[in-house]
Structures are given as structure tokens and as C-alpha cells.
Homo-oligomer: A and B are copies of this chain.
Amino acid sequence: MREVGIVGIGHTKFGKSAVPFLDMACDAALQAMDDAGAKTGRKNVIDQVFIGTMAAGMVQRISGLASAVVDTLNLRPAMAETIENGPASGASAVKLGYMAIASGVCDCVLVVGAEGMRAVTGWEGTDFVATMLHPEAEYKYGITLPSFAGLFTRLCMDKYGVTSRDLSIVSVKNHANACLNPNAHIKAVVKLERITDERIINATNPLVADPLRQYDMCPVSDGAAAVLLVAKDKQEELGFGHKKFVKIAGVGSATDTHVVANREVPTDLLAVRLSAQMAYKMAGVGPEDIDVAELHDAFQILEIAESEEVGLFPRGTGHLAAREGKTEIHGEMPINTSGGLKAKGHPLGATGVSQIVELVKQLRGEAGERQVPGAKTALAINFGGFGNNVAATILTTK
């Protein structure tokens, strides 16, 4: 298969965007193009633009976002499509970028993930996110993402002995990492002793969905991230020869039952496992080869459960690994060096691309204080719905 890699990355500051949605998406895209330093100029090098976004239409009343980005950045007549797969829209767009180049139709693809979520608040915000649930069996009855996460967390507590303190350990690690990331939404030094099981039960951290409280959830963020993909055999010719080529070694995605209640084992995240297996197989690597991972911690339990499903830790031991500090930047298996969704923020469609941007930085050795020494192979898991559509990506510089 044709070798495809990343030669440019871009990332806005996550949080509340100071500029309109379209400008924010274009900002990330321009950064990725500048980072790649296309000597041939911006026009006519990029064959295709994919934008990953869940709710540009629903929230921003903008459809055809991909066309708008192409025109604003003067990339005409590049091909352009918008890709939607809920919170996994970003990784899906990267996967399609890979396919577009591997197919031979394109040589260079710009992938942008973008979401503007802070335009809506409260009930309305929870509602548009919940449209990713099953339209007949779930959404109609008012079930939300946090309610699924609460149920899932409780099941893992009962089955594996995960504690509220373990959840807080994940939060503390990710907030510490985010303090080292200039693009993170929330920079707060959170000390574990201040958020013991007793401490969190108070009015400033209200219960959302038992056992989860407000600060167990990722924040609501605006944000955009972008990557420039190129065929290895065209890297030189297109003017990207000076950039370190971070190879997309594997892409995988998989679906699980859309109706969460239909799953045989409700603590399993089958689509995480299958998407990772597909990506491992394509890349010819296994969990033992992964030096750093970005996992989809919209809720802390997901980081723990995903770390098991992708084989980084045996089943039921992810929380023990977190307790032992194994998932810290200088632990044996660093996870979410970026700060993760919990602290870096989670602009739905941007997240999957943001994860790739962090991993490219790690593999280039450009992660600064967050650098995992000698990282060569990396894994990202981007989680759509409540695990009903998951995308895995493996990058390598080996």
C-alpha cells in the first residue's frame, strides 16, 4: 500500500474561541500549511480537504464547511468534503485522508477537525451532543452521554474495584500535563489530596450522573486542529522534503451496537478493541510497540477502559496502572501527554485531529516539557457515540 504520512500540524488554543467558527477552522489549517512550509505556495498543492465536524450544521448553521475553508484559504479547486462521525469525526477524517492518498487519487490532503460548542449552553448543549445516541431507542427518552458514563463507571467500580480516587488520579495527571500544553483549555494544578472521595462531595462539584460529578467530565470547548498528509513518494516533489515524515502506519475503525443496552458485556468496549486490532494489523505492530498514546478520556473511566481494550494493560488493571503512575509522562506507558479531553478540552470534531497533532509532536521530539523520551510509535483512540463508532490511528517514525 502507498506510504502516507504527516508533514504539517496546526492547533488552535482550545477554550472559548475569540474568532468566528470558520476563521478558527482556517487558523488551524493555515498553521498546518505553514508548519509544512510548502515551498510551492499554498495553491494547487493540496488535492483534497476533509473537515471533521459533528455539529457545524446544527450549532453554527454552516453546512458545506469544507467548501468554505477551501475558498477562504484560496485552495480552489481542491476537492472538499465534510466528515461526520460524532466525537470521532476528526479521526474519521484522517482515515479518509489516508484512503484518498493510498488510493492514488490524491497526493496531498489537508485534514481539519473543528467544533464550535460554546455558542450553545446548558440543556441545548447537552441535547445536540445527545443526537449521536440512537434516535429511537435512546435520544427520544432523554438519555445523555454523561448518564451513560455514570452507568459505565459504576459497573467498572463494581466489577474491577475502580474507585473515585482512581478517577481523580486520571484527572490529576491530565491536568498536570495540560499545564505544560499552551493550547489546553484548562490549566489548573489539581492536587489529589484536595479531591479525595470526601472532598468531592460538595456544592462546588455537584453530582451529574452517579457516581460522576461535574469535575469528572471534560469541559465544553471550541477548537480546531489540522494535519497535512502527503504520499511518501511525492514528499520531495511537492516541496515537503525538509520535514520529518511521520508515517500513518495503521488506521482502523469499527462499530458496536448503537443501542448501548444491547451490548452483551456492558463493560466491554468492543469497537475500541476491534479498531485497535485493525490498526495494529495494518501497522504490523502490537501494544508492546506503543511508546505514547492519546486515549479518548471524555470521562476518566474511558481512559482506563480503553487502555485495557487496546492491550496496553491487562483487563481490569488499567486503574492500578494509573495508581502506580505508569501512565504519567515519565511512566512506562504515557497516556494523554496533551492533557487529554479532560484538561486540554474536547471540541468534538477537533479532538481526533488534536490527538494526532500531539502524537506527531511527540514523534518529532517537539513536545517540550511534555516530551516522552525516544518516542517512535504512537496510538490514538477517538471514541464516537458511547463507543458505537471508534477510530484508531497508529503513527511511527521507525
Contacts and interface: CB of A to CB of B under 8 A. Distances in A.
A71 interface: yes
A255 B81 contact: no
Contacts of A198: none
Chain A contact residues, majority secondary structure: mixed
Contacts of A104: 1, 102
A360 to B, nearest CB: 21
A61 interface: yes
B67 A58 contact: no
Contact of A66 (B134, B274, B389): B389
Interface stretch (A72-80, A175-183, A214-222): A72-80
A314 interface: no
A379 interface: no
A206 interface: no
A259 interface: yes
A384 interface: yes
Given A96-B99, A105-B102, A257-B76, A86 B71 contact: no
Interface string A133-163: 0111001000000000000000000000000
A265 to B, nearest CB: 15
| CB-based closest 10 A-B pairs | A102-B103, A71-B258, A77-B254, A103-B103, A82-B84, A99-B103, A79-B253, A67-B389, A63-B131, A57-B58
